[in-house]
């Protein structure tokens, strides 16, 4: 029997999900953004705000969906998984209470502490701005300043890296955040592991390193992610197998503490000289990490979804063994002053063997325009990171004008710098 799957969301992450399932199911999609890549793959598309839980559930029933995959964190926070489950449509995504693991950073740290989850940094939670500023003054060391709620990956300020202590206090005083989490600054190399979780099982995927800073050489403000890479195995060049296994142990501990959790559990880790520490958890696929992981997943993703719904053990995952490099094209001026509304021309044929994923673009009368967010990404695959990077870089001829790209992602020089950094920390 062919499954009917509803996809909620319209970004690059969701385009990757759509491509992973479209050949094996009847696909329907809904989103506030009319992603041209998703619309071509879907049997039906409806323009619906992803956070309108009742409207999403009604559309799922109208489409005859058996399963749903929820992409964006805002939809999880709005209870879209709850509404779908309650309507009898299995949602591969946590209910709003369990999604607090991402949507409430104060809850996340308390959860880790109360359940003895490994890798929790020293932290404190404040709902009074001046008390938080006093903590910055009194703390022996640098701190990461994190709004407790969702900020699209752009709200964190790290003292000693991005800002000074005085700038961090000014940031808090100028903001309207109700609660903030101040936690020890973790020094090392960041990486992500995503796991498919249901029925008490957690099937993990290759580690990914995302690059948040806007400009080459890791300069500039944080973004939603300018690109990312994976290696041919499960770990990354600056990691050992033991580092990967230690991070998986953290994810397993979370699943043990949340036996009803379903969906994607994303662990963002900092590999320190003491091993992996948890930067944060997300309750959905990463963007761009989904675009690295799903193209090399040989196990049909629909099989994972069906097993989750049917209460069965999730299938063991098989991967192609290819490295991947993802590079995003973003509007000029992104992220501080993006050139929204600029018409762009994307030559898909020039992408060659690389994969092209549309993210936040506005399609009107067959023409594409930028928004205030990332426009599209290309993903190269190969038998090494270098080969994948070359394929991705060649594909960027598709980008045209009026967009900007971090060309250094996946290059030998940048990867070697990561290795040298970890060697220095461990010595």
> Which tens digit of pLDDT belongs to each residue from 250-290?
999 999 999 999 999 999 999 999 999 999 999 999 999 99
Q: What is the mean pLDDT of residues 156-164?
A: 92
Please determine, for residue 400, whether its predicted confidence score (pLDDT) is greater than 90: no
| Residue 364 pLDDT grade (very low, low, confident, very high; cuts 50, 70, 90) | confident
Section 319-326 average pLDDT: 98
Beta-strand pair 67-70/90-92: parallel
Burial of 413 (0-12, 13-18, 19+ CB in 10 A): exposed
The mean pLDDT of 138-147, rounded to a whole number, is 94
Local confidence band at 365 (pLDDT 50, 70, 90 cut-offs): confident
Segment 341-356 shows an average pLDDT of 91
C-alpha–C-alpha distance, residues 385 and 414, integer Å: 11
Q: How far from 16 is each of 92, 254, 393, 420, CA to CA, in Å?
A: 15, 26, 19, 32
Select from 132, 148, 234 the least CA-distant residue to 193.
Answer: 234
Determine the pLDDT at residue 1. 66
Residue 218 reports pLDDT greater than 90: yes
Average pLDDT for 91-105:
97
Q: Three-state secondary structure along 200-216? A: CEEEECCCEEECCEEEC
Residue 275's pLDDT is: 96
pLDDT band at 80 (very low <50, low <70, confident <90, very high): very high
Band the pLDDT of 150: cuts 50, 70, 90.
confident
Residue 62 has what pLDDT?
98
- Stretch 121-145: mean pLDDT, rounded? 95
- 238: pLDDT strictly greater than 80: yes
Judge whether 159 and 185 are in contact, CB under 8 Å: yes
Tokens (6 digits) for 126: 């404040």
The contacts of residue 318 (CB under 8 Å, 6+ apart) are 297, 298, 299
Looking at CATH, the fold of the domain delimited by 3-93 is given as: Rossmann fold (3.40.50)
Per-residue pLDDT, averaged over 93-100, amounts to: 98
What local confidence, expressed as pLDDT, does residue 28 receive? 98
On the question of pLDDT at 151 being above 80, the answer is: no
Cα 69 versus chain centre, distance? 15
CA–CA dist 320, 299 (Å, integer): 10
The tens digit of pLDDT for each residue in 3-59 reads 999 999 999 999 999 999 999 999 999 999 889 999 999 999 999 999 999 999 999
Kindly state the average pLDDT of the residues 73-82.
98
What is the percent of the chain where pLDDT is above 70? 99
pLDDT tier for residue 366 given thresholds of 50, 70 and 90: confident
- The CATH homologous superfamily of the domain defined by 122-184: ATP-grasp fold, A domain (3.30.1490.20)
- Tell me the average pLDDT across 285-304: 98
Return the pLDDT at 244: 98
Q: Does domain 189-420 have CATH number 3.50.50.60?
A: no
Domain spans of the chain? Answer: 3-93, 122-184, 189-420
Query: Are 216 and 413 contacting, i.e. CB atoms less than 8 angstroms apart?
Result: no
Average pLDDT, the chain: 96
What gap in Å lies between CA 381 and CA 410, rounded to an integer? Answer: 11
Instruction: Look at residue 324 in the predicted model and tell me its pLDDT.
Output: 98
Check residue 355 and give its pLDDT. 97
């Amino acid at each position: 029997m062919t499954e009917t799957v509803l996809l909620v969301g319209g970004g690059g992450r969701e385009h990757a999900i759509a491509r992973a399932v479209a050949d094996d199911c009847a696909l329907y999609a809904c989103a506030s953004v009319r992603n041209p890549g998703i619309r071509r793959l879907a049997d039906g598309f409806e323009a619906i705000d992803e956070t309108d839980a009742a409207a999403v559930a009604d559309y799922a029933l109208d489409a005859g969906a058996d399963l749903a995959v929820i992409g964006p964190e805002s939809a999880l926070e709005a209870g879209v998984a709850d509404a779908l489950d309650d309507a009898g449509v299995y949602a591969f995504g946590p209910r709003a209470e369990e999604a607090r693991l991402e949507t409430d950073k104060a809850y996340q740290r308390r959860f880790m502490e109360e359940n003895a989850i490994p890798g929790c940094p020293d932290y404190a939670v404040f709902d009074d701005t001046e008390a938080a500023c006093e903590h910055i003054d009194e703390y022996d060391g640098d701190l990461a300043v994190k709004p407790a709620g969702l900020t699209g990956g752009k709200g964190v300020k790290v003292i000693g890296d991005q800002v000074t202590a005085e700038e961090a206090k000014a940031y808090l005083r100028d903001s309207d955040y109700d609660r903030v989490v101040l936690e020890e600054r973790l020094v090392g190399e960041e990486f992500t592991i995503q796991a498919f979780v249901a029925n008490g099982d957690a099937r993990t995927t290759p580690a990914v390193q995302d690059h948040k800073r806007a400009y080459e050489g890791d300069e500039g403000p944080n973004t939603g992610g300018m690109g990312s890479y994976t290696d041919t195995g499960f770990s990354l060049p600056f990691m050992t197998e033991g580092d990967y296994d230690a991070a998986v142990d953290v994810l397993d501990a979370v699943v043990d503490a949340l036996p009803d959790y379903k969906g994607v559990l994303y662990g963002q880790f900092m590999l320190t000289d003491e091993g992996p520490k948890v930067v944060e958890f997300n309750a959905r696929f990463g963007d761009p990490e989904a675009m690295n992981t799903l193209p090399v997943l040989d196990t049909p993703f629909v099989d994972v979804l069906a097993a989750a719904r049917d209460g069965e053990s999730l299938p063991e995952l098989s991967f192609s063994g290819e490295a991947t490099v993802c590079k995003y094209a973003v509007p000029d001026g992104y992220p501080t002053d993006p050139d929204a509304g600029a018409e762009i021309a994307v030559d898909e044929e020039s992408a060659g063997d690389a994969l092209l994923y549309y993210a936040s673009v506005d399609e009107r009368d067959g023409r594409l325009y930028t928004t205030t967010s990332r426009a599209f990404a290309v993903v190269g695959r190969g038998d090494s990171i270098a080969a994948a990077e070359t394929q991705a870089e060649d594909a960027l001829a598709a980008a045209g004008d009026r967009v900007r790209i971090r060309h250094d992602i996946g290059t030998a020089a940048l990867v070697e710098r990561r290795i040298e950094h970890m060697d220095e920390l461990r010595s």
